[in-house]
């Protein structure tokens, strides 16, 4: 372990950039007109996105409204946990707010999450009266929320997108032997050995960005550490990577929707993958 940790420390100190690709924006991302005030910041909200998640992966169907200060991909609020909006906010790629309604219990309050670089205290909205177009492909509404930590006033009108139908759902041995699970295993193995080329081959642009940020953070930490501490720091990182690498046996299900897949695991959270150029790649 110590020898591998020292090797990882050395490789982390070398220049490593996995490269990023641009993301196309939606042609009609919807409209918002309002402001969010939280954490001492006021954000002008100009863009609106709506997503209906059917909850097939985790049995958590949701209606999601994303209001932002700039245009983003229309599928940003997709996925079983809708993690990307918060990640984009943390990395300075948007500011705004995400509202979520549990479709199993529509009488419960909406969850309101400010999307700011340093996070923000979540809130609840008792009701959000909204209007659906006759074809149910568009949604509009007015939001008014005021509390000690959060003030949100906005009108929105947006296309209502929804998940692609499940094309394949695998469990047990079939899930563990599936192409998405194999891609995740290859990605984790490349990370264990600090093989940047292989890591890039099995990662989407979003994941490469995340890995670049992680690598750069460890480069800074290692550069400032003493030679004795470098192996210790890398060994701690390696233990986390090894834990990920051992989770193939923890794969419970693989749910595929066309060119997207989610791996559900026993100990770790869901892992999203995307099919690009006939190869499954680890996404966010």
Q: Average pLDDT for residues 172-186, to the nearest whole number? A: 95
Q: Average pLDDT for residues 76-96, to the nearest whole number? A: 94
- Chain-wide mean pLDDT for the chain? 86
What pLDDT shows up at residue 198? 86
**SS3 (DSSP) at 247:** helix
199 with 280: CB under 8 angstroms? no
Lowest mean pLDDT among 24-33, 145-154, 244-253: 24-33
**Would the pLDDT of 257 be above 90?**
yes
Q: What residues have CB less than 8 Å from 143, skipping those under 6 apart?
A: 34, 65, 67, 99, 125, 128, 152, 153, 154, 155, 156
**Would the pLDDT of 143 be above 60?**
yes
What's the pTM value of the predicted model, to 2 decimals?
0.81
What pLDDT shows up at residue 118? 85
Angstrom distance (rounded) from CA 98 to CA 142: 14
Percent of the chain exceeding pLDDT 90 equals 63
Q: Average pLDDT for residues 20-28, to the nearest whole number? A: 42
Give residue 231's pLDDT band: very low, low, confident or very high (50, 70, 90).
Answer: confident
Percent of the chain exceeding pLDDT 70 equals 84
Angstrom distance (rounded) from CA 149 to CA 120: 9
Domain definitions of the chain by residue range: 31-162, 166-282
């Amino acid at each position: 372990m110590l020898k591998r940790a020292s090797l990882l420390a050395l490789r982390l100190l070398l220049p490593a950039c996995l490269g990023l690709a641009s993301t196309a924006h939606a042609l009609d991302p919807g409209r918002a007109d309002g402001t969010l005030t939280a954490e001492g910041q006021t954000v002008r909200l100009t863009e609106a996105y709506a997503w209906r998640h059917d909850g097939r992966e985790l049995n958590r169907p949701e209606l999601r409204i994303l209001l932002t200060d700039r245009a983003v991909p229309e599928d940003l609020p997709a996925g079983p946990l809708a993690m990307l909006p918060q990640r984009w906010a943390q990395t300075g790629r948007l500011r705004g707010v995400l509202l979520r309604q549990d479709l199993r219990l529509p009488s419960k309050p909406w969850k309101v999450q400010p999307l700011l670089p340093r996070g923000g205290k979540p809130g609840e909205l008792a009701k959000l009266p909204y209007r659906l177009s006759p074809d149910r492909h568009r949604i509009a509404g007015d939001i008014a929320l005021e509390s000690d930590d959060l003030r949100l006033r906005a009108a929105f009108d947006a296309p209502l997108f929804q998940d692609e139908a499940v094309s394949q759902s695998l469990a047990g041995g079939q899930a563990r032997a599936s192409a998405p699970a194999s891609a995740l295993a290859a990605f984790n193995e490349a990370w264990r050995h600090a093989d940047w080329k292989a890591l890039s081959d099995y990662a989407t642009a979003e994941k490469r960005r995340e890995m670049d940020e992680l690598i750069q953070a460890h480069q800074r930490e290692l550069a400032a550490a003493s030679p004795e501490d470098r192996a210790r720091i890398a060994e701690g990182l390696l233990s986390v990577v090894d834990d990920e690498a051992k989770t193939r046996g923890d794969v419970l299900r693989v749910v595929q929707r066309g060119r997207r897949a989610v791996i559900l695991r026993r100990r770790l959270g869901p892992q999203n993958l995307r099919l690009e150029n006939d190869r499954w790649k680890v996404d966010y």
